[in-house]
Homo-oligomer: A and B are copies of this chain.
Amino acid sequence: MEKKSLLIVCDGLGDRLVDGVTPLEVADTPNMDSMAKEGICGLMDTVLMGVRPGSDTAHMSLFGINPFRYYTGRGPFEAAGAGLKLEEGDVAFRCNFASIKNGKITDRRAGRVEEGLEELADEIKKIKIKGVEVLFKRGTGHRAVLVFRGNDLSPNVSDTDPEEEDSGYNKSRPLDESMEARKTAELLNEFTEKAVKQLTGHEVNRMREEKNKLPANIVLARGAGMKAHIPSFMEKYGLSAACISATTLIKGVCLEAGMDLIEVDGATGHVDSDIGAKATAAIKALDVYDFVFLHLKGTDEASHDGNFKSKKEMIERIDVEVIGPILREIGDATVALTADHSTPVGIKQHSADPVPIAILGDVRTDDVERFTERDCAKGGLNRIRGLYLVHILLDISNRIKLFGA
């Protein structure tokens, strides 16, 4: 009677109307539509009605972790995703290697040139600051993570990353009046100055410039967050859970939620990803785990580019390469197909428009015949909240205990 559950999230899948239709509406999606037909459909506000979710807060919600309670910033998730094991009380920042000239940021990603960044990261790791332990780890590309470990720290500090070019970098400021926020902002400013000193004129940068490439001579930080105790999937539900994602931030959220990571060769997190291999890995993971989460990023990438055609094509690829095989192999597991948020191609950013959802399993099938935003709006689930999704899936899978007697 107890069943396994598979949650498939197509990042940024939901959309608004462009010339009267959404990408999901024009895409050819026989497999998704069969889920809609044989399952129960609805709309979902992943965080809350009218709230534009970030990728981190959306996934927290989808895993039953209330972001209004637990979210302080993306830093800790980036750190976890990059493989830096945090301790409670640590403050973590998402960082970029960037280029600065005459006090102005000339490129926020150091031209996306990776050459020598590993060596420069080793240089940064040497930075010592009184009263705090400094941890630093390079992620993929120009990305990195900075962690302060010590007493009396606060995530309530502003970014040094100006989020635009042709301006200077920002001094971090405390965002409340606490001693801890003041201290943490000062630490970040000291770190930033020392990083500039360490990187400027470094041999790696001399070589980059000789080759007419931008130097990576500053580290910009943003998204300060504090590691908190988030109850794990096992603690909350008594279940084992696994995650398949190629996105550092999402992997970090999954790790913090107590999931195991399953790495898949060829999974890139871009539209070129080998999503078929991810689907195969997800099906296999269900042999071992009670709950499997499969994350597909390409739809969001196409949305941020404002590319309707590419989004439609990515949806069609997911339909054939992911949903098709899963429906053939899934047996009696409960399967949900949805998104973490809408990213309308018309605005190229996340929106609060609710996302479509279809659940296949021991459900009350409705009349919905297509997996689209507007068809699902007429579904039997009506409009649900993301925070309750895991509970709903585990209920359908008969994996959840009674509240009361």
Contact = CB atoms under 8 A, between A and B. Distances in A.
Interface of A: 1, 16-17, 20, 22, 43, 47-58, 67, 71, 73-74, 94, 223, 249, 344, 346-347, 349-353, 362-366, 373-374, 377-378, 380-385, 388-395, 398, 400-405
B402 A50 contact: no
A58 B404 CA distance: 8
Contacts of A383: 381-384
Contacts of A71: 403-404
Contacts of A392: 49-50, 352
A253 to B, nearest CB: 10
A75 to B, nearest CB: 9
A283 B50 CA distance: 25
Given A1-B347, A377-B382, A388-B48, A404 B57 contact: yes
A404 B53 contact: yes
Nearest to A64: B50
A249 B74 CA distance: 43
A148 to B, nearest CB: 19
17 contacts: A22-B364, A47-B404, A48-B388, A49-B384, A49-B391, A50-B394, A52-B395, A53-B402, A53-B403, A55-B405, A56-B404, A349-B402, A352-B391, A352-B392, A353-B395, A377-B380, A381-B383
Nearest to A390: B50
Given A16-B363, A364-B374, A54 B404 contact: yes
Q: Sort A-B residue pairs by CB-CB distance and give the 6 closest, nearest first.
A: A54-B404, A50-B391, A57-B404, A352-B395, A49-B388, A382-B383
Contacts of A353: 364, 395
B364 A16 contact: yes
Nearest to A362: B16
Contact of A50 (B17, B73, B94, B388): B388
A74 B405 contact: yes
A275 to B, nearest CB: 24
A54 B17 contact: no
Nearest to A398: B347
Contact of A350 (B1, B390, B402): B402
Contacts of A373: 364
A347 to B, nearest CB: 6
A352 B67 contact: no
A49 B51 CA distance: 19
Given A17-B365, A22-B364, A380-B374, A223 B405 contact: yes
Nearest to A56: B404
B67 A403 contact: yes
Contacts of A344: 362
A54 B362 contact: no
Contacts of A57: 403-404
Q: Which of A47, A57, A67, A392 has most B Cβ within 10 Å? A: A392
Contacts of A17: 362-365
A79 to B, nearest CB: 13
Given A49-B384, A56-B405, A352-B392, 14 more contacts: A16-B362, A16-B363, A50-B389, A50-B400, A51-B391, A54-B402, A56-B404, A74-B404, A346-B362, A351-B395, A377-B380, A381-B383, A382-B382, A383-B383
A256 to B, nearest CB: 14
A54 to B, nearest CB: 2
Nearest to A52: B402
Q: Which of A49, A347, A393 has most B Cβ within 10 Å? A: A49
A284 B374 CA distance: 34
Contacts of A16: 362-364
Contacts of A352: 391-392, 395, 400
Nearest to A222: B405
A395 B51 CA distance: 8
